[in-house]
A and B are shown apart, each in its own frame.
Chain A
Amino acid sequence: MKKVHYIISGFLGLILMVTSCNTGGDKSNGALASSAAEKVYVAPGEHDEFYAFISGGFSGQLSVYGLPSGRLFKVIPVFSQDAEKAWGYNEETKPMLNTSYGFIPWDDSHHPDISQTNGEVDGRYIFINGNNTPRIAKIDLSVFETTEIIEIPNSAGNHSSAFVTENTEYVVAGTRFSVPIPQRDISIKEYKGNFKGTLSFISVDPEDGGMDLSFQVLMPGFDYDLAHPGRGASHGWMFFSSYNSEEASTLMEVNASQNDKDFIAAINWKKAEEYIASGQFETMPANYAHNVYSDETHTATSTMKKEVRVLDASKLDGLAYLLPTPKSPHGCDVDPTGEYIVGNGKLSADLTVHSFTKMLEAIENENYEGEAYGIPILNFEDVLAGTVNQAGLGPLHTEFDDKGNGYTTFFISSEVVKWKVGTWEVLDRAPCYYSVGHLMIPGGNSRKPYGKYVVAMNKITKDRYLPTGPEVTQSAQLYDISGDKMELLLDFPTIGEPHYAAGIAADIVKERSRKIFDLRENKHEYATTSDANVKVERNGKEVHVYMTMIRSHFNPDNIEGIKVGDKVYFHVTNLEQDYDVPHGISMIGANTSELLIMPGQTETFVWEPKQVGVWPFYCTDFCSALHQEMQGYVRVSPANSPLDLTWSLGED
């Protein structure tokens, strides 16, 4: 079989050589089997052209890939504990996972979105939502670590999140499940009119990126599913798809699919800012966590916030409008010009495209077909720009290239369909293996997409890889979209369910990537930035070890005077100042993960010795030819031992 393949390939090659004098350069036909491999091959030591940030779904993580190779570089813990990096295990990062419900080491992370400047992805931050216990996280792309998490009050199933406006003025977070607001003890049967949805606008400080829940827009009790910002002329608006306009609360798969049309909610956030400025908001009591990690103190702090400003869209004119959109729309996508808003009606065969210009005209003329809880409903025909007819089954999500084309995933018919923006004609289709959910073109949600590749993220894997028991790998597929025809280049496995992704040219990000933390700027409360300051201190049963590490020893590496019942904090500073020289440390019997400490950084783990004896610790990350020698001992004496604390390195 394979031999036949080679022979055919060789034969085709020969034909091509013979007929090469009339080649017009149509390389997209994929006739030469080897071309797909060559297109994804990144030679050893060379770099990929794009970063792809693919959500880890129910793993609570965000994974970082290179395109076109599909190579995995890093898995960033966000709403998760990661023993490899001590994230959520060490004392410094535990506060990042604090919520109003206490410590929650897991969430369902869906939609990453890269910060933008002037409508273009700028590579400073990436935001991602926690769906289950509503949270928004910010990952700083100079360190590829989660540096801020804010909880969202009055929300449940934080799904239409985390999408940024075109200058990252806000990252928005809409509720999927409407709930009683404020929460109270009422019958579920009283859903209609009592359950509400909120759309939260979290401001992002232009200087330091600090997040703050600026305001929430109170909306009818629909399910707000996805969102995208206006750009260009439509900058200042945010569009949210919604379903369950039936306001059902049971047997949703039937009861929330009754209406022929649901809505895309258009929110005028510039108007919202005016209402905030003129004080027409309600201040509601709330309780939500705001967790910030500092690269100076290498420590996170968690603060509980107690109130939130709410704007009621039912009472405030001009804040919200509803655009009828067929069949429970999922993706709500805005083209690079900002003129077209695509509703991907997931129970439909068609795509509905609204016109921003027509929407403004209809609002101007006050041409409404009705209202829902005081919010005007525009006429479907008035705002419709066009329909991509019978493109496939179950449209979910559309992204755009830089040549005026849209690319839409169809879940039920399992394909990506390419269509022309403006004429709405279908140009090409490519099958996905299997059941594609979302897709991603680097910069595809911005004014400036890089129309070279599309990544399709699949919901079903089945037989595409070697089997690994009942649970098989999650999977994505890479297509070349530079030609007229899409060409499947590569399957690659992903971490957790790949719900959604964001991509960016590697050059923008890699120049800003930090190599080390400057030891001289380390402001950790328990840092030991000079070997002269190494010490061990006792405060009752609490013992603090101020330890340093460098290739290849710990200081101190012998400690005596620890007693059973003590709580020992190892505050360990990596004194290295060279790129890619982290050290690890772990202690036998410590009820936590190792630490993995970057050059110039301080981290802490807690050890509660339970048995008398002499117990070793060692470096867990290979660091030099003498890595195996990087170890130490702690002597543990009985609780009533009179032995004083002593510590040393290299003394006999």
Chain B
Amino acid sequence: MYVRNMIFIIFFEYTGTYFWGINQYVNKMKRLSVLGTLAFFSLLLLACGGKEEKPKDGFSIDRQKTTEQKTESTADNTIKASERIDLENKGVGVITSLDLPAEIDQAMAANGKELYDQLCLACHRIGKKFIGPAPNDILERRTPEWVMNMILDPERMVKEDPLAKDLLIEFNGSPMANQGLTEEEARAVLEYFRTL
């Protein structure tokens, strides 16, 4: 680095000029008083509810799993959110009305399965509760609009839709991922759900 060498050769020779530069300078800058903000994140840790393995030498606690959840929902809290039937609620989002033809579009459903396997299967297994609920018979419990809105904008749904909010709590606070599906793709996934 020649500049580093130059520091040694020339720096002292021009020290006068150098400090002249400093003295010339009058620092008029005053710090703008900016209020620092502190953000507190509080994580709600849910009780782990006694799902211990039971090796012979282990321990277990005879604890009753609480089913009562404090939520802001106006729905009937004695039934689990996943088991509640609500065929009126269209959810919150871009889909406000959706008419399903009587006939299932098999080509669309096949495409929907492909999308589902790639983008949804990690959390939703067929016929079995996993990270999230199983999609079987979903249209017997939810409106098609609600399902579409949940796929397309889960962040907004869990904030604004009471049922979606309850589902988040029921499934351990595990957030549904927005997998970036287009409306058309979400529709195909819905068609696949109809075949289950």
**Chain A residues within 8 Å of B, Cβ to Cβ:** 5-6, 9, 30-31, 33-34, 36-38, 41, 44, 253, 346, 393-394, 411-415, 431-435, 437, 459-460, 488-489, 516, 519-520, 529-532, 548, 550-553, 555, 575-578, 581, 624-626, 650, 652
Best-buried of B28, B32, B43, B53 by chain A (most CB within 10 Å): B28
The answer to whether B6 and A411 touch across the interface, beta carbons within 8 angstroms, is yes
The answer to whether A625 and B43 touch across the interface, beta carbons within 8 angstroms, is yes
Contacts of A529 in B (CB 8 A): 118
List 9 A–B pairs whose Cβ atoms lie within 8 Å, in order of A's numbering.
A36-B28, A37-B32, A413-B21, A433-B22, A519-B119, A531-B122, A555-B122, A624-B174, A626-B174
Q: How far is the CA of A516 from the CA of B119 in the complex (A)?
A: 14
Contact digits for B90-128, partner A, Cβ 8 Å, 1 yes 0 no:
000000000000000000000000000111011100000
- Smallest CB–CB gap between A35 and chain B, Å? 9
Interface residue B178 (Cβ < 8 Å from any Cβ of A): yes
The answer to whether A530 and B117 touch across the interface, beta carbons within 8 angstroms, is yes
- We find that the number of chain B residues with CB closer than 8 angstroms to chain A is 43
With contact pairs A393-B14, A532-B121 given, residues A625 and B175 touching in the complex (Cβ less than 8 Å): yes
- Smallest CB–CB gap between A462 and chain B, Å? 10
- Smallest CB–CB gap between B21 and chain A, Å? 4
The answer to whether B22 and A431 touch across the interface, beta carbons within 8 angstroms, is yes
Q: How far is the CA of A315 from the CA of B18 in the complex (A)?
A: 47
Q: How far is the CA of A71 from the CA of B82 in the complex (A)?
A: 46
Partner of B21 from the list A431, A488, A548 (CB cut-off 8 Å) is A431
Question: For residue A463, which residue of chain B has the nearest CB?
Answer: B22
| Chain B binding surface, main DSSP class | loop
Q: How far is the CA of A63 from the CA of B117 in the complex (A)?
A: 39
The answer to whether A41 and B21 touch across the interface, beta carbons within 8 angstroms, is no
Partner of A550 from the list B7, B44, B177 (CB cut-off 8 Å) is B177
The answer to whether B118 and A551 touch across the interface, beta carbons within 8 angstroms, is no
**Chain B residues within 8 Å of A, Cβ to Cβ:** 2-7, 9-11, 14, 17-18, 21-22, 24-25, 28-32, 34, 37, 43-44, 53, 117-119, 121-123, 130-131, 172-175, 177-181
Partner of B118 from the list A37, A393, A435, A520 (CB cut-off 8 Å) is A520
The answer to whether A36 and B174 touch across the interface, beta carbons within 8 angstroms, is no
Contacts of B6 in A (CB 8 A): 346, 394, 411-412
Contacts of A520 in B (CB 8 A): 118
Contacts of B5 in A (CB 8 A): 253
| Chain A binding surface, main DSSP class | loop
With contact pairs A253-B9, A625-B44 given, residues A575 and B14 touching in the complex (Cβ less than 8 Å): no
Question: For residue A520, which residue of chain B has the nearest CB?
Answer: B118
Question: For residue B128, which residue of chain A has the nearest CB?
Answer: A650
Contacts of B177 in A (CB 8 A): 550-551, 576-578, 581
- Smallest CB–CB gap between B122 and chain A, Å? 4
Question: For residue A581, which residue of chain B has the nearest CB?
Answer: B177
Contacts of A44 in B (CB 8 A): 37
Q: How far is the CA of A551 from the CA of B122 in the complex (A)?
A: 9
- Smallest CB–CB gap between A458 and chain B, Å? 11
Partner of B131 from the list A435, A516, A548, A553 (CB cut-off 8 Å) is A553
The answer to whether A624 and B22 touch across the interface, beta carbons within 8 angstroms, is no
Q: How far is the CA of A581 from the CA of B117 in the complex (A)?
A: 20
Contacts of A576 in B (CB 8 A): 177, 179
Contacts of B174 in A (CB 8 A): 551-552, 624-626
Contacts of A488 in B (CB 8 A): 29
- Smallest CB–CB gap between B51 and chain A, Å? 9
The answer to whether B18 and A434 touch across the interface, beta carbons within 8 angstroms, is yes
Which 3 A/B pairs are nearest by Cβ-Cβ distance? A37-B32, A33-B30, A577-B180
Question: For residue A650, which residue of chain B has the nearest CB?
Answer: B130
Q: How far is the CA of A407 from the CA of B178 in the complex (A)?
A: 49
Contacts of B178 in A (CB 8 A): 577-578
- Smallest CB–CB gap between A59 and chain B, Å? 14
Q: How far is the CA of A519 from the CA of B25 in the complex (A)?
A: 56
With contact pairs A30-B28, A37-B29, A520-B118 given, residues A626 and B172 touching in the complex (Cβ less than 8 Å): yes
Contacts of B29 in A (CB 8 A): 33, 36-37, 488-489
- Smallest CB–CB gap between A597 and chain B, Å? 14
- Smallest CB–CB gap between A521 and chain B, Å? 11
Contacts of A412 in B (CB 8 A): 6, 10-11, 14, 17-18
Question: For residue A522, which residue of chain B has the nearest CB?
Answer: B118
Contacts of B11 in A (CB 8 A): 412, 435
- Smallest CB–CB gap between B29 and chain A, Å? 5
Contacts of A532 in B (CB 8 A): 117, 121
Question: For residue B181, which residue of chain A has the nearest CB?
Answer: A577
The answer to whether B118 and A519 touch across the interface, beta carbons within 8 angstroms, is yes
Best-buried of A516, A520, A530, A548 by chain B (most CB within 10 Å): A530
- Smallest CB–CB gap between B53 and chain A, Å? 7
Contacts of B25 in A (CB 8 A): 431, 433
